[in-house]
Chains A and B, each alone.
Chain A
Amino acid sequence: MYLATTDAVAKSSKKTKKTKKSEKTEKSEARRGRVAGPVLALGAVSLVTDISSEMVTAVLPLYFVLQLGLTPLQFGFLDGLYNGVTALVRLAGGYAADRGGRHKLVAGGGYALSTLSRLGLLLAGGATAGIGAALAADRVGKGVRTAPRDALISLSGPPDTLGRAFGVHRAMDTTGALLGPLAAFALLWATADAYDAVFVVSFCFGLLGVLLLVLFVPGRRELSPPKPRDPAARRPGAPALLRVPAFRRVLLAASLLGAATIGDAFLYLLLQRRLDFAVSWFPLLPLGAAAVYLLLAVPAGRLADRVGRRAPFLAGHVALLCGYVLLLAPTDGWPLLVGVLLLLGVFYAATDGVLMALATPVVPRERRARGMAVLQTGQALARLLAAAGFGAAWTLWGIGTALTCAVIALTVALAGAAALLPRTERTP
């Protein structure tokens, strides 16, 4: 285990640059190509759980609209509502996890709740209220578990390999997200639309994920022996975190960029409009972006470890900006499709896990889960705002103008984030 090095995380900035540098070079030499056991275990949990949850996510729109007769608008509303819920529940999850370092317990509870929600879907048998409740339970579980899980990853490895650790985790996570829909559609195909079979199989995967977590992910005792505390850590509540200037900067930068991110659904919709392919192929678009994400997550994480996390994080958003520009440009056909999906995949690979690695050194370990929850919620709420704003702009001024606005907003946000993000990180 890497406890000796993780201790240094919170106070690494206080160490002299020289010691830190030599220590880290040494460690990364020793650990090249290897990732801590708990990270792999958490990756496996996420992989299996994502198969479970993406199976259901992939078929729910079909289930709602075709089997239950809801209008797409009703479904969209329900979905948006629950995504908002997730963002808020995440904060509670982070707070609960930090109290006494119960990351494993809280994350496990979240995984278990989502798994049980599959049984709820099964038992609801088409009653809209029951399905709504099951869906809410799933989203609450998802919200609760995310921050403690990322905190666990950040606590599991030496700080100079965190980019790679998050990269490996996100790659495994995305593998599950890719396999899930495929499994679900294969099941529907084999059983002639037996949605209950999808729910049952999803439940089995979810249960396996919980079991993997219980058995292989280290808990409180293994991870965090009582530490001499940072004085800031003793102050209660999240606001104390906001008094850490470096954290504030990261949070602001992530939220700023989030507020200029228009949302994948819009990008896919734009692609569909430009290329005019059959709507039945629509569900395949996210798979294309996810495949790129999957392939690049680990390399991006390694790169972030080597050159510092700031550059890849900003570069990822530049890739997204290029995607917007590509949609505005007179590109057509395959180059447009491949280009946008590729850029979107690069964006996720270079930003999602990298942001967590970027934030880790500025959040004391005692409030790691809370810090990540605040960061993720800030980003999610900013994105929600951006999606709403983009939708409004689209309706008011048409698609070309809306997209131009998005390009300008993202350029400004990038400049702001570049100025905000701390440069204190080590360079090679």
Chain B
Amino acid sequence: MTPSAPTAPRSLRSRIIAVAVAAAVLAGVAVAYTLHAARRAQSADAASEFGLDRGQLYFRGTEAGGAGRVARLPAPGEATPGKAAHQAARTTGGPSCERFYAAARTALCLQRRSGIPPKSYAVVLDERLREKRRIALTGIPNRARVSASGRMLSWTMFATGDSYAGSSFSTRTSILDTRTGYLIKNMEEIPLTLDGRRYHSPDVNYWGVTFARDDNRFYATVSTKGRTYLVRGDMRKWAATALRTNVECPSLSPDNTRLAFKKRVREGTRDPWRLYVLDLRTMREHPLAERRNVDDQAAWLDDGTLAYALPGADGRRSDIWSTPADGSGKPVLRVRGGSSPAAVG
């Protein structure tokens, strides 16, 4: 751009030099900061500072100075009210994940990277939290589970929409057998029996898979025609059967006798869910002491305790709470500023 007459031509050169120098300095600042940020990102992707050990509660930190990275703290058998947050014992510096779950010697980390279009990944980690396998996906990470043995992995991505609260969303749920390496990218084709009949509909959506100890039987949510069902599935037979309605995000207890899930107790988008536990022998369910709206797939810390994320107070994204599985007692704040709880026992 060469401005003409009105400004003295003598100063034109000096003005061009001034802009060139300023542009060079600003470019330097921009490049330096970007390089710095990229290096920081690499360190976040770098090897975890800890591995998977028994007796630890793993979670995704959501507070500054470790936001988005997995952290852990010793998990005492029972919650200790008063010392709830265990802030001092927290170890940070794990992998960066949107969702995280771990069991035995395997961890599953769902990541999301911006770009055009944004990409997501399911990353399988070994007992030292080193990357073993990376699967590229599309969508927004939502649920992640590892079977008790560490063999079967499953995760759910939102393909469209980004909340179960809205009326229209679509999910893709994948299952990975880490022993054979067999990957089912989208389990929607599984033959489904509903009300005793084979059911066909293009609108089925599965999410929140939880595997039993035998690594074959599993439970999940299926939604179709505006209703949600609890389904029991069988990997070897590759079949699923709907058991009951209005159940979402099941989670099987370590002893495999009970199923925790969120149940819709109110229509609409305002506080629709409450946590329940279903006894698989009697098929009777009871609500938990937690009376707040829980939109999470609960995780069993042990046979008597469930943990789940709730929106945090004071602008924190989420906190992890726990409550007894038998409906007694009252909820306890376990981790301040955390989500994706997973107890490795």
Interface residues of A (CB under 8 A from B): 1, 36-38, 40-41, 43-44, 59, 62, 65-66, 68-69, 71-72, 125-128, 182, 185, 187-194, 196-197, 200-201, 204-205, 207-208, 211-212, 215-218, 222-223, 278-281, 283-284
Closest Cβ of chain A: how far from B20's Cβ, in Å? 11
Q: Are A208 and B26 in contact (CB under 8 A)?
A: yes
Is the CB of B118 closer than 8 A to any CB of chain A?
A: yes
A1-B4, A1-B6, A204-B30 are known contacts. Are A278 and B117 too (CB-CB below 8 A)? yes
Inter-subunit contact B117/A280 (CB<8 Å): yes
> Which of the listed residues A36, A201, A280, A284 has the most CB atoms from chain B within 10 Å of its own CB?
A280
Instruction: Evaluate contact between B114 and A59: CB separation under 8 angstroms.
Output: yes
Ranked 8 nearest A-B pairs via Cβ: A280-B117, A222-B6, A192-B41, A194-B37, A188-B114, A197-B37, A37-B3, A191-B37
A190, B2: Cβ atoms closer than 8 Å: no
Contact B113 A211 (CB under 8 A): no
Tell me if B136 counts as interface (CB < 8 A to partner A).
Answer: no
Within B105-126, the residues touching A (CB, 8 Å) are 112-118
A-B contact sample (18 more), CB < 8 A, given A196-B37, A212-B19, A283-B116: A37-B3, A69-B318, A125-B64, A127-B315, A191-B38, A192-B113, A196-B33, A197-B33, A197-B38, A200-B29, A201-B30, A205-B26, A215-B15, A216-B1, A222-B6, A223-B6, A278-B159, A278-B160
Determine which of A128, A187, A211, A222 lies in contact with B19 in the assembled complex, contact meaning CB atoms within 8 Å. A211
Query: What residues on B are CB-neighbors of A193 within 8 Å?
Result: 41, 112-114
Q: Which residues of B sit under 8 angstroms from A215, Cβ to Cβ?
A: 15, 18-19
Contact, CB under 8 Å: A190 / B116? no
A208 to B30, CA, bound (A): 12
Most interface-central of A36, A189, A281 (chain B CB within 10 A): A189
- A37/B4 contact (C-beta < 8 A), A196-B37, A212-B19, A280-B138 known: yes
- Pair A128/B40 contact, Cβ less than 8 Å: no
Which residue of chain A has its CB nearest to the CB of B23? A208
- B residues less than 8 Å from A66 (CB atoms): 112, 140
| Chain B residue nearest in CB terms to A172 | B1
- The answer, yes or no, to whether B162 is at the interface (CB within 8 Å) is yes
For chain B residues 27-82, which have a beta carbon within 8 Å of chain A? 27, 29-30, 33-34, 36-38, 40-42, 44-45, 64
A37-B6 Cα distance, complex, nearest whole Å:
10
- B317 at interface (Cβ–Cβ under 8 A)? yes
Instruction: Confirm or deny: B265 has a beta carbon within 8 angstroms of a beta carbon on chain A.
Output: no
B317: chain A residues at CB < 8 Å are 68-69
B89 beta carbon closer than 8 Å to chain A? no
Bound: A216/B3 CA distance, A: 6
Q: Which of B2, B27, B318 lies in contact with A204, CB distance below 8 A?
A: B27
Interface size on B, residues (CB 8 A): 45
Question: Are B19 and A194 in touch, CB under 8 angstroms?
Answer: no
Alpha-carbon gap, A222 to B5, bound state (A): 9
Instruction: Tell me the complex Cα distance, A281–B138, Å.
Output: 11
Contact with A along B89-107 (1 / 0, CB 8 A): 0000000100000000000
Q: Which residues of B contact A43 (CB under 8 A)?
A: 1
In the bound complex, do residue B19 and residue A189 qualify as a contact, i.e. CB atoms below 8 Å apart?
no
A365 vs chain B, min Cβ distance (A) = 16
B22 at the interface (CB under 8 A from A): yes
Determine if A218 and B3 form an interchain contact, defined as CB atoms under 8 angstroms apart: yes
For residue A182, which residues in chain B have a CB less than 8 angstroms away from its CB? Answer: 116
Confirm or deny: B7 has a beta carbon within 8 angstroms of a beta carbon on chain A: yes
Verify A190–B1 contact, CB threshold 8 A.
no
Q: Note all chain A residues with C-beta closer than 8 A to B23.
A: 208
* CA of A188 to CA of B40, assembled, Å: 13
Given A37-B4, A185-B114, answer yes or no on A192-B45 (Cβ-Cβ < 8 Å).
yes
User: Do residues B30 and A200 form an inter-chain contact, with CB atoms below 8 A?
Assistant: yes
> B36 — which chain A residues lie within 8 A by C-beta?
197
A91 to B15 alpha-carbon distance, docked (Å): 32
Closest-by-CB residue of B relative to A69 is B317
Which A residue sits closest to B160, measured CB to CB?
A: A279
Residues of B within 8 A of A194 (CB): 34, 37-38, 40-41
Contact B41 A191 (CB under 8 A): yes
Give the contacting residue for B6; candidates A189, A196, A218; CB below 8 A.
Answer: A218
Contact A204 to B3, CB < 8 A, known contacts A190-B38, A193-B113, A283-B116: no
Q: Give complex CA distance A223, B5 in Å.
A: 11
A-B contact pairs, 20 of them (CB 8 A): A37-B4, A38-B3, A59-B114, A66-B140, A126-B64, A185-B115, A185-B116, A191-B37, A192-B44, A196-B33, A196-B37, A201-B30, A201-B33, A205-B30, A207-B22, A211-B18, A211-B19, A215-B18, A278-B138, A279-B160
Contact B34–A197 (Cβ < 8 Å): yes
The chain A residue with its CB closest to the CB of B18 is A215
- Best-surrounded residue of A69, A128, A279 (most CB of chain B within 10 A): A279
Residues in A whose Cβ lies below 8 Å from that of B160: 278-279
Residue of A nearest to B140 (CB): A66
A128, A193, A211 — most chain B CB neighbours (10 Å):
A193
Complex interface: chain B residues within 8 A of A280 (CB): 117-118, 138
Q: Which residues on the B side are within 8 Å of A201 (C-beta)?
A: 30, 33-34
Instruction: Give every chain B residue within 8 A of A41 (Cβ-Cβ).
Output: 1, 3
Residues A211 and B6 in contact, CB atoms below 8 Å apart: no
Given A189-B115, A211-B19: A36 in contact with B4 (beta carbons within 8 A): yes
A185-B114, A201-B34 known; A128+B315 contact, CB < 8 A: yes
- Min CB–CB distance B150 → chain A (angstroms): 27
Within 8 A of A (CB), among B297-341: 311, 315, 317-318
- Docked Cα-Cα span, A125 to B315, in Å, equals 12
The reply to whether B33 and A200 contact each other, CB–CB distance below 8 Å, is yes
Cα–Cα, bound, A44→B16 (Å):
13
Please give, as numbers and ranges, the residues of chain B lying within 8 Å of A204 by CB-CB distance. Answer: 26-27, 29-30
Please indicate the chain A residues that have their CB under 8 angstroms from the CB of B159 in the complex: 278
Q: How far is the CB of A198 from chain B (nearest CB, A)?
A: 9
Bound Cα distance from A189 to B5, whole angstroms: 45
B174 to chain A, nearest CB (A): 17
Closest Cβ–Cβ distance, residue B186 to chain A (whole Å): 14
- A197: chain B residues within 8 A (beta carbon): 33-34, 36-38
Q: Roughly how many angstroms separate A104 CA and B334 CA in the complex, as a whole number?
A: 57
- A153 to nearest B CB, angstroms? 13
* Bound Cα distance from A187 to B64, whole angstroms: 21
- Within B223-255, the residues touching A (CB, 8 Å) are none
A314 to B5, CA, bound (A): 37
Kindly report which residue of chain A lies nearest to residue B120, judged by CB atoms: A280
